[in-house]
Chains A and B, each alone.
Chain A
Amino acid sequence: MAGMLQLEVATPERMLLKEQVREVEVPGAGGALGILPGHAPLLSELGNGRLSYVLENGHRKWMAVCGGYVEVQSDRVRILADSAENADEIDVNRAAAALKRAEERILNPLPGIDVARALNAVARAQARLAAIKSAR
């Protein structure tokens, strides 16, 4: 159908989503990208954050994606994420706990703690929480 995008979200371990959508908002590494059908071909890295898409019936859905790549063609968006979860699959308590743990590590860095990794963990947990919050 004209005016729709084929959205494909894959992680190394599984194909998460394959759906016709009206629009997609992607957390690019350099800021959010809104993509509508007919977009010029584009390749970008992904940041950590919230991805949202609008289904044919107008419902908006969210998921959390962390790192990876996005490839856009006029009728197709492919997301290759290092990890991705649908908003309704995310465990709120686990994400919140992970966020707290990671923040603690940054505030009181013990020797041998990899701060870059902890920062990354914070970003991932925040992406998850943001996705849940939007889905509610």
Chain B
Amino acid sequence: MPSLIDIRRRIRSVKNTQQITKAMKMVSTARLRRAQERVINARPFSRMAGEILRSVAAAASGAESVREHPLLQPREENNVQLVIVSADRGLAGGFNTNLIKAAQQFIAERPDQKIELELLGRKARDFFTRRPVQVSGELTGVSLTAGLPEATALAEKLTSRITAGETDAVYILYNEFKSILTQKITIRRVLPVEVQAGPQRDYIFEQPPAEMLARLLPKYVLLQVLEAFLESAAAEHAARMTAMDAATTNANDVINKLTLYMNRVRQASITREIIEVVSGASALE
């Protein structure tokens, strides 16, 4: 039977852990709000840019340079680049695990293709650098703060590689922020860009639409990358918040159980002592 002191020590240790999980939960809750705002603030621009892209594409659809534009032209996918947006830190429930599983599944589904990974976040890097996969680049330490500068750099790399013919398609894999309780693993093809030409309106074009489209496409790619970054940051905060909330509740349960057990042990030892005293006294009679 464990001694009282051992159990007390155990309770204290669980309490300490609980304080940490509680603090982490509160930090994530506070930051989640800001991350959510960033997602929401970025939405109008993406929406409008999408509309403009469709208008321009409709006007430019006839031009030959457009049909053969490397960022638009779908081709056989032999060399595929997969961008994985993971977190730098764990303790966020299934956030990273689910993501990495989805990535492995993606790779397994395409045995004939050469797949290069672009890894964001320490967790994805730690996992994949030790495995036999091709890694084209990595970025760590910014999973929660990544914004326009990081997205710009990555988008430039992705577009220049596809323009140079080194890759045929680019997919991005990330956790989408559905609600505070759910994150959805999302995989989306970023390149070549798929444009549904919108209704043709009679715009006056200051620049030839085909040229405008050529300059608009890289920006559209950038927006999709940025959106993935922002969504992933919000999702990470939300995942950590729920995970830490559950951990705090669990710690409470453990403490309750241990306290009950400790009391029972104490009761037992008192009872034993009484019996000893009583039987000792009766032996003297």
* Chain A contacts to B: CB under 8 angstroms: 8, 10-15, 28-30, 33, 40-45, 69, 71, 78, 80, 82
Q: Is the CB of B38 within 8 A of A13?
A: yes
B207 near A: Cβ within 8 Å? yes
Q: Is the CB of B206 within 8 A of A71?
A: no
B interface, how many residues as a size bin?
20 to 34
A42 CA / B202 CA spacing, docked (Å): 8
A44 CA / B55 CA spacing, docked (Å): 12
Q: Do A43 and B42 form a contact, CB below 8 Å, given A12-B226, A71-B52?
A: no
B91 near A: Cβ within 8 Å? no
B280 near A: Cβ within 8 Å? no
For B223, the chain A residues whose CB sits under 8 A away are 12
A-B residue pairs, 10 tightest by C-beta: A44-B206, A14-B41, A10-B45, A42-B204, A43-B203, A41-B203, A15-B44, A10-B44, A12-B45, A43-B205
Quick one: which of B41, B42, B49, B212 contacts A45, CB cutoff 8 A?
B212
Q: Is the CB of B206 within 8 A of A10?
A: no
Interface centre among A12, A41, A71, by most chain B C-beta atoms within 10 angstroms, is A12
A30 CA / B206 CA spacing, docked (Å): 8
For B38, the chain A residues whose CB sits under 8 A away are 13
B101 near A: Cβ within 8 Å? no
A41 CA / B58 CA spacing, docked (Å): 15
A78 CA / B49 CA spacing, docked (Å): 10
A-B contact pairs, 11 of them (CB 8 A): A10-B48, A14-B41, A42-B203, A43-B204, A43-B206, A43-B212, A44-B205, A71-B51, A71-B52, A71-B203, A80-B49
Q: Which of B204-262 contact A (CB under 8 A)?
A: 204-207, 209, 212, 215-216, 219, 222-223, 226
For A28, the chain B residues whose CB sits under 8 A away are 206
Q: Is the CB of B42 within 8 A of A40?
A: no
Nearest-neighbour CB distance to chain B for A18, whole angstroms, equals 9
Nearest-neighbour CB distance to chain A for B34, whole angstroms, equals 12
For B45, the chain A residues whose CB sits under 8 A away are 10-13, 15, 80
For B219, the chain A residues whose CB sits under 8 A away are 82
A78 CA / B215 CA spacing, docked (Å): 18
Q: Is the CB of B204 within 8 A of A41?
A: yes
A43 CA / B215 CA spacing, docked (Å): 14
| 0 or 1 for each of B67-109: is its CB under 8 Å from A? (1 = yes) | 0000000000000000000000000000000000000000000
For B147, the chain A residues whose CB sits under 8 A away are 13
Q: Is the CB of B216 within 8 A of A69?
A: yes
Given contacts A14-B42, A80-B48, 15 further A-B contacts (CB under 8 A): A8-B48, A10-B44, A10-B45, A12-B42, A12-B45, A13-B41, A28-B206, A33-B206, A42-B206, A43-B52, A43-B204, A44-B205, A45-B215, A71-B55, A80-B45
Nearest-neighbour CB distance to chain A for B260, whole angstroms, equals 53
A43 CA / B219 CA spacing, docked (Å): 16
A31 and chain B: residue at smallest CB distance: B206
For A30, the chain B residues whose CB sits under 8 A away are 206-207
For A43, the chain B residues whose CB sits under 8 A away are 52, 55-56, 203-206, 209, 212
Q: Is the CB of B201 within 8 A of A12?
A: no
For A29, the chain B residues whose CB sits under 8 A away are 206-207
B47 and chain A: residue at smallest CB distance: A10
A29 CA / B145 CA spacing, docked (Å): 32
